[in-house]
Amino acid sequence: MPPAPHRYHFPNLLEAFLILIVLFFTEYLMNALIWKLGREAGLQPMGIFSVGRVLAHGVVFTVLLHHSKRTYRDLLHENGSSWRATLGLFAPPILLLTPGLLVLGSLLQLLLLQLYPMNPSALEAWQKMLTGGLGAIVLVCMIAPIVEEMLFRGVILRSFLQQYPPGVAIVHSAAVFGLAHMNVYQFMLAFLLGLLLGKLYERTRSLLPGILVHGFYNTGVTILAFNASADTSQFLVNYSATWYVFAAIAGCIGAWLLYKLVAPRTSPGTESQA
């Protein structure tokens, strides 16, 4: 039976890239508007950027939600289960999965740094992002997971799934997510993480599991960076073989439990009819 034709739904792939451009300039404008006020209030630069990102995403989300006639509640948790039950069900396997993701992400980061050495100014900006005080922690560990999941999975992937086959939609949304980070060092990791986040959303129709993955991962990276040497880009090499073993075991267990939660269910008679 041929697949049903996919009709247009906003945004498509091209419009998703246009949204990223609008979001970038909106965030830049918000930071410029609140910079003086924030400094007078005693906020550090990363704290100001945190506020600017929230305001920018708020403006963009308001427009997009008004256009699609949806609510924030629909955006966050579309399926019929309780959001508390969803958090309780997914938090343990995702927490176990996080050490494995940290090791894989760090190895990929080290490989990219070998292929494309980071210049001193970019390295300094990266270190400030990870170890830049309370503002950086709030931005990386709390704000980014929520607002990015709402945009990339809640708005963009949701629309893609109505226009493209699921696999294509997930790959497209992961590519948009990677490009949004605007540097080669984060693109590959964001793309691969976007595949996992996209699959979780496609199977659950809830942003909560993705927010947990995103938040736990970013928090883990921040903790490792704070405990690393001055060269934040090399934080993985400071850890012992015990850490690798623990990360591998915990990651495998978490991945298996997560797979069991989202794997398609088959009825007893399905296999015999195949």
Q: Running DSSP on this structure, what letter comes out for residue 82? A: -
End-to-end CA distance of the chain: 15
Domain extent for 162: 13-262
- Classify residue 7: in a domain, yes or no: no
- Classify residue 130: in a domain, yes or no: yes
- Classify residue 84: in a domain, yes or no: yes
**Residue 77 — φ and ψ, nearest 5°?**
-150, 95
Q: Along the 274 residues of the chain, how does pLDDT read in single tens digits?
A: 444 446 788 899 999 999 999 999 999 999 999 888 888 877 777 778 778 888 888 888 788 888 877 777 778 888 888 989 999 999 999 999 999 999 998 888 888 878 887 777 666 666 666 655 666 777 788 888 998 899 899 999 999 999 999 999 999 999 999 998 877 878 989 999 999 999 999 999 999 999 999 999 999 888 877 766 545 445 555 567 888 899 999 999 999 999 999 988 765 554 444 4
- Classify residue 3: in a domain, yes or no: no
d(CA 59, CA 57): 5
- Classify residue 171: in a domain, yes or no: yes
Tokens representing 83 are 């959001």
The reported pLDDT for the residue numbered 255 is: 97
d(CA 62, CA 222): 30
Q: How much is the pTM?
A: 0.87
- Classify residue 175: in a domain, yes or no: yes
- Classify residue 159: in a domain, yes or no: yes
Tokens representing 2 are 């041929």
Q: How many domains does the chain have?
A: 1
Q: Is 62 exposed, middle or buried (0-12, 13-18, 19+ CB in 10 A)?
A: exposed
- Classify residue 170: in a domain, yes or no: yes
